[in-house]
Amino acid sequence: MTIKLLAIGKTDSNNLSQLIDEYENRLKHYVKFELELIPDIKNTKNLSEAQQKEKEGEAILKKINPTDALILLDENGKQFTSVDFSNYLQKKMNSGIKQLVFVIGGPYGFSAAVYSKAQGKISLSKMTFSHQMIRLFVVEQVYRAFTILKNEPYHHQ
Ligand SMILES: C[S@@+](CC[C@H](N)C(=O)[O-])C[C@H]1O[C@@H](n2cnc3c(N)ncnc32)[C@H](O)[C@@H]1O
């Protein structure tokens, strides 16, 4: 199974990018992983929040193949412990899915169209993180999950 993390807009902070790269590189030892950044929507100044979400939603859905499992990162989604999340990933791998796609919304979240296509929602906390910082937290948690599955000494209960 391939895991893709889809997000809108390039990561503005070099420090953040470096940390994301670090975990992305570590993850490559365990699974085929790709972080794909969808270019920012242009002329957002002339768009309402709802219009921006719609356009971002269209761009997101264009990237999804019919056989992908689409899972949204969302404050109101299901919460896991890191061990539970590792078991969740193991089950997805066992289920024969070709590609698991985690999607991070833009600054205003997801359009209704994206919600309606999603097979699940995962929350990393009840608090809201910036759409850029959450990238790092997702990559780190996926990495952590694989170290748990491999019994490696990264995670401590
Ligand atoms: C700034 S937040 C958008 C917040 C907006 N209130 C909403 O309704 O989604 C941007 C994106 O970051 C992700 N995000 C932020 N906090 C999160 C959390 N605690 N758990 C999971 N994803 C989160 C989500 O993908 C969200 O769409």
Does 93 score more than 90 pLDDT?
Answer: yes
Q: What is the 151 CA–ligand 1 centroid distance (Å)?
A: 30
Residue 155 inside a domain? The answer is no
CATH of the domain at 113: 3.40.1280.10
Over range 32-46, report the average pLDDT: 93
Q: Could you tell me the pTM of the whole model? A: 0.96
Residue tagged 């490696």 (tokens) = 152
Residue 85 inside a domain? The answer is yes
Number of C-beta neighbours around residue 50 at 10 A: 11
Task: Tell me which of 16, 53, 74, 132 to substitute to probe ligand 1's pocket, judged by most ligand atoms within 8 Å of the beta carbon.
Answer: 74
Closest atom, ligand 1, to C-alpha of 128: 16
Write the pLDDT tens digit of every residue in 141-151.
Answer: 999 999 999 99
Write the pLDDT tens digit of every residue in 115-149.
Answer: 999 999 999 999 999 999 999 999 999 999 999 99
Residues of the domain holding 28: 2-149
Residue 154 inside a domain? The answer is no
Q: Please state the domain count of the chain.
A: 1
Residue 156 inside a domain? The answer is no
Residues present in the chain in total: 157
Binding-site members for S-adenosyl-L-methionine are: 73, 105, 124-129
Q: For residue 157, what pLDDT is reported?
A: 82
